[in-house]
Amino acid sequence: MREIVFDTETTGFKFAEGDRMVEIGCVELFNRVETGRTFHAYYCPERPMPAEAQAVHGLSDAFLSDKPVFAAGVADLLDFIGDAPLIAHNAGFDFAFLNGELGACGFPPICTRTRMVDTLQIARSRHPGAKHTLDALCSRFGIDRSHRVLHGALLDAQLLAQVYVELMGGRQIGLGLVSDIIVADTGPVVASAPRIVRPPRVFTVPEGELLAHAAFMKGISDPLWGAVASG
């Protein structure tokens, strides 16, 4: 099964109040194993970046000024995500911005009922009473986040992909699915020829070797196997 883990960075909290998406990062999973394929893009929000938002992700007006608007790159994004389920942490937030941007350029929204997977809700059900931030979940599962200084959409999506796999049962779930991935990459596996069962071979020992072995055995005083046999 193909799934996409994604994260967004924005100018604020509410698309309906004029905030915009400025970055998106996507990680492809196949049978909950990372394939190595990713999608990453920055977008010009066509509005000033609030200082409090820049403090979170570090994306300034100057950096984003020469980036394309969302509508200019929407086709590439939709081509990458396809019809796969979309996984995000506190997914309602990310879906609100993704669907808001899609609607603003005339595309239908992605169905939250059939395609949205929220790792925050999964974490709350698996570990009630614990902390459920991405940092806390990385600590819980021993996922290295030492290189995460500021929020970044692709980096956070890569960390979340590992968290998601752990929440759904751990890395070992992919062990039984490796053959599926090989088939998907290289085509059907051809069955090997039936195994030929040969009759057992009979070996004969020369008479002289048997006599020499018997003489050697008689020369051993108080053998261990003799005590076992007599007991």
- Contact status, residue 94 vs residue 120, Cβ threshold 8 Å: no
Active-site option among 127, 147, 151, 213: 151
How far is Cα 9 from Cα 88, in angstroms, rounded to an integer?
12
Residues 6+ apart with CB under 8 A from 135: 145, 148
Please, what sign has the CA dihedral across residues 118, 124, 127, 132?
positive
Q: What tokens does 110 get? A: 């992605």
Bridge partners of 9, per DSSP, are 23
Q: What tokens does 28 get? A: 């492809």
Q: What tokens does 219 get? A: 């020369």
How far is Cα 209 from Cα 131, in angstroms, rounded to an integer?
76
Q: Is 132 one of the catalytic residues?
A: no
- Contact status, residue 138 vs residue 121, Cβ threshold 8 Å: no
Residues 6+ apart with CB under 8 A from 35: 28, 29
- Residues serving a catalytic function are 151
